[in-house]
Structure 1
Amino acid sequence: MSGHGAGSGILRQPRTVWVVAFASVIAFMGIGLVDPILPAIAAELDATAAQAELLFTSYLLVTGLAMLVTAWVSSRIGARWTLLIGLALIVVFATAAALSGSVEAVIGFRAGWGLGNALFISTALATIIGAATGGSGAAIVLYEAALGIGIAVGPLLGGLLGSISWRGPFFGTAALMASAVVALLVLLPSDRGTPRERRRLSDPLRALRRPPLALLAVAALFYNVGFFTLLAFSPFPLGLDAIGLGLVFFGWGLALAITSVWVAPLLTARMPRSRVLAIVLPLLALDLVAAGIVVGSVPGLIVCIVVGGLLLGILNTVLTETVMDSTDLARPVASSAYSAVRFLGGAAAPPLAALLAEFWGDHVPYYVAAGAVLVAATLVIAGRRLLARADAAADTTAEEAEAITLGDAA
């Protein structure tokens, strides 16, 4: 029994899992890499804050829409080639963005970056879950850890490179993604000959007819308004230089990584996933309200950002686990359908926050984001019966983990 427990340890994973997790860290750096340079881009390219925020919107909008076809693409060409093409597209469009001379061009190339991102991240999650030992829970924790590390390191690297030039983070991303392409080519086994279930283009849309998945997708859409208001709008009221912003959002991402890996599993082992969401979503709303109240204080806003990271780490992991276990759908299809909807919230939030701040003050975007998160909490609480399957799956996972632990002790 002890051998089984050790083999099921979260850190004892096949090479495929670690290779894809490493590439995921680099891919997720792209989300926060531009964060510290948003004010610099606005200044250097003579753009408004709302125009600069469109760097997030084009990226996330295309990512979300492209998610609708990622399962179909992967079922035709295989996970390995889908991952490689996704990363290669990011290399191309990140380089093009670095060479751009206008904010409109950067926005357009970020859209192409979003296409590559969609191909990669949806396939990466399904690949890690399929290859990992210890069940889907362990795989999702590893995936969320990669997300947290990438989101933490991205702003730090973006701040350091951005202190030299606003083009630096884009060139840095291209170089990192190229290294990930080489790593996948060399270390990721070929999946030629592996049986693949052919997907239909309509599968993700049909999946959204399932009430549990539709509920979680819409809740995540509103939740992402809070997530990306905190991430993408906060650099403007903070008023720090690129390195200062990089350090702040490094702390935010580190907090997110810690709670996604260690705190979320502890909570879901002790209470149903739906209850965790029903508790933590209102706490995030309160944090956003606090951010709106203290927005004029740089230290106060930094505290709210880091506390928000702690809450977001829990929510990211628990939402992903709940989605994967809420239906009997194939995981690539469930992931594509859910992500397509949730990224729409992230796409709308940054420019909306900038416009609200321009007309009514820097505090208003945080209050609106808090309201959106409360909508997400209301949906989860009202629809808890629809999440019974995911809650039951969490109970089973916890019981199995406890049995393994008791066997090791014996």
Structure 2
Amino acid sequence: MLHQSHFVPSFNPELERQVAAWAAQRGVAARVDFLASRDIPARLAAEAAARSGHDIVQLRNFDAALYRSSLLPLDDVATAVEREHGPWLPIARYVGFVEGRWYGVPWYHWSLPANINVRHFARLGMSPDAVAGLDWNTFLTVAERLHRQGTPVGIAISQTFDANDGLYPILWAFGGRTVNERGEVVIDSDETAAAIEYVKRLFPLMPREVLGWDDADNNRFMLSGVGSWTPNPPSIWATAKLQNLPIAADIDHLPLPRGPRGRFRSTNPLSFGIWNFSPNAELAKDLIRHLLQPENVARQVEASMGYNQPFLRRYTQLPYWRQERALRHYEPVRETLAIPGWPGPAGEGAQLVYVEFIIPQMFARAVTGTPTAEAIRWAERELRARYRS
């Protein structure tokens, strides 16, 4: 089984324990290989091309659509799990159900609210509730004050997954979209321009290094005590708690600010996939069913310290998120939850735009001097090439 190395390190041994327990019951050997998140796309591409590799692979976002021709349909597993433990959340069907078949069995997702250092906002006389009430325009004023006191905000504007998940909610909040429901490219709009102009105003208030951040840099930014605000799942807080860092008490999670078209949060769905060349397909299906049993999902949520958000509705009622005050805004999600590529159809185009960081590159061009209209035209060309339109 292939899975990314989890950003909450206590999850990996729990997953290994559950897989080992299943293997012992079945009298077989089983192994989980952990790989850095950024390296998963290349590994999937290599295994699909070679028709050799892991039996179960991690599918992220629209990978089920991208690799449909290499994946085994899993209708029997997905429908049985839903019948026993469901229903699935709507977003699960969006990513796993492709052209009338389940090619990915939804597992969990993780979403990106705002991570804040409450101490830095308190110096401005702001409570967490006051920060939660900000819209993007008032947030800009607050960001200026945080910058002056030496505790800036930060959003990755780089070729990394966190950049997608930090910038798309701004695009959506201002009304911009990459494609419409039919998959037609609609990035060239006044709403996209407004989102870019906003980020151009925000960029000077952030460390210039955001242009080169990877997915761990905003974690380090917050854990250092310098950062005041960044979009991220609760792995920053979880790491601080696991390492008994004093800063854990200062970290809270809040909704991202509201824009003219609403309040949005980006999420990353993970699904189980089985290659159609796997020699162990039936065993792989059985392991998936095992990992989605209620007691195992509950332990996964606890081991991830609430980071993992299950796709089965009944599992969203697990008590963990109510036991930790810092997670009260994480689950259940009250904002509009979306995946980069929304509201377009699941497909190869959406996944290629995501893993090739087209939208972060558009914003990066604009904040470093490319005129807004030119940055949008560049993105439009790149989107049309991926969506073949």
TM, length-normalised to structure 1: 0.27
- The structure where strand makes up a greater share of residues is 2
- The structure where helix makes up a greater share of residues is 1
